Amino acid sequence: MNQIVQILGVPLDHGAGRRGVGMGPGALRVAGLHGVLAALGRELLDLGDIDIAAPETLTPGDMRARYVTLIAAVCEQVCRRVRETLDDDGFPLVIGGDHSVAIGTLSGIASHLRARRDRRWESPPGLLWFDAHGDINTPDSSPSGNVHGMPLACLLGKGSPLLTDIGFAGAKLEAARCAVIGVRDLDIAERELLKASGVRTFTMAEIDRRGLATVMDEAIAITSSAQHMLHVSFDVDVLDPTVAPGTGTTKPGGLTYREAHLALEMIADTERLTSFELVEVNPTLDWQNQTAVLAVELIASALGKRIM
C-alpha cells in the first residue's frame, strides 16, 4: 500500500447522452478527494485533467457511435498515462467523465501487462464493473449511439476498431475474469449480448435474494487472484438515485449507501486492488454536490478506510 496514487481527470462527456458529466473530475476534487486520500496516509500526485474539445465545436460523425473519433483520441491519451503510472509502480485513480473513459484505462492496464514490465502479474487483469447497465452494446446494437454504453464490448474486442485497437489490437479482457455488479436496466439486444459474453452478471434482483456480501464474495473469487491485477470500474449510476442523484442515467432500485461501502470495503480487504476508476458524476444534476461527496467516500473505502 505504499504506491503513489496518481489521479488522472478525464472530463469526457462526448460518450453520454447529455452534457455535464465532463465536470465530474472537478466536482470530486471540490468534494475533498485530496484531503481524504491524505487522511488515509496515501501519497498522491494529481496529474490534472486531459484537455478535451467541447462537443459543440465538433460534429458527432457516425451516429451509431457518436464522437467516436474524439473519444478514441482521448482514450489513447488515457491509455498512455495509465500505462506510465503502472510502469512507475504507481496506483492509477482515474476520475471521469463518462464511462467510455474505461476503454482507455483498461487498455493502459493491458498494455502495461503485455509489455511485461512487471512480471509479478499475468495477463489479462481481473475486472469488477459496477453499473446499472451492461455497457456491452456495439454500434450495431445501440439504440442511442452513445459510446458510454459500449465500453465493455470494446474491451472484449467487439465494436469500432478505433476503440478496440487502443494500446494494441483486440480484446483487453478475458470474460471469465470479469464481473458486472448491480445491473437493473438492459436494452433487449444488450441483454442477449451480455448473456453470450461469458461475463458473470450479478443483477440487483440476485443481490436482493442472496445479499450483497455473498455476491461480493463470489465476484471477488472470479476476478481476484495473487497472479492478476485487479481493476474496479465504478459507475455511480449503480447507486440508488436517492443517495446519488447526480448522474445522467438514474434508475431506481440501486445499491444503498451501506451496500456500496461494504462492496468496496470487501475489495480493499483483499489487498489486491491495483487500479480504480470512478465515472458518471454529473454536477448539473446533483444537489449540493452530494453525489461527488459520496463518490469520494467510496474511493476512500476502496483504498482502505475503515470505521475501526
Domains in the chain with CATH codes:
5-302 (3.40.800.10)
> At residue 116, does pLDDT exceed 80?
no
| Distance, CA of 280 to CA of 205 (rounded, Å) | 23
- At residue 2, the pLDDT reads 72
Tell me, what's the pLDDT at 150? 97
Beta bridge partner(s), residue 183? 203
Measured from the Cβ of residue 252, the count of other Cβ atoms closer than 10 Å reads 11
Question: Do residues 200 and 178 touch, judged by C-beta distance below 8 A?
Answer: yes
Q: Which of 20-24, 61-65, 174-178 has the lowest mean pLDDT?
A: 61-65
* Packing angle of the helix pair 68-87, 101-114 (nearest 10 deg): 40
d(CA 96, CA 244): 16
Residue 145: per-residue pLDDT: 95
pLDDT at 1 over 60: no
pLDDT value of position 86: 95
Catalytic residue among 13, 187, 190, 235: 235
Whether residue 235 lies in the annotated active site: yes
**Which of 135, 190, 259, 286 is an active site residue?**
135
* 99 tagged catalytic: yes
Which pLDDT does position 298 carry in this prediction? 98
Diameter of the chain measured on Cα atoms: 52
pLDDT digits (tens, 9 = 90+) for 29-83: 999 999 999 999 999 999 999 999 988 888 999 989 999 999 999 999 999 999 9
* Amino acid (1-letter code) at residue 31: A
* pLDDT at residue 118, rounded to an integer: 60
Q: At residue 283, does pLDDT exceed 70?
A: yes
pLDDT for position 308: 57
pLDDT over 70 (residue 302): yes
Nearest to 172 by CA among 180, 184, 164: 164
121-165 pLDDT, tens digit per residue, is 888 999 999 999 999 999 999 999 999 999 999 999 999 999 999
| pLDDT score, position 203 | 98
C-alpha distances in angstroms, 243 versus 1, 187, 237, 260, 298?
Answer: 30, 24, 10, 11, 12
pLDDT in tens, 216-236: 999 999 999 988 999 999 999
Give the number of other Cβ atoms within 10 Å of residue 229's Cβ: 24
Q: Identify the band that residue 307 occupies on the pLDDT scale cut at 50, 70 and 90.
A: confident
User: Is 49 an annotated catalytic residue?
Assistant: no
C-alpha grid cell, residue 107? 487498455
Q: What pTM was computed for the model?
A: 0.97
CA 280 to chain centre: 9
Q: Which of 49, 76, 98, 99 is catalytic?
A: 99
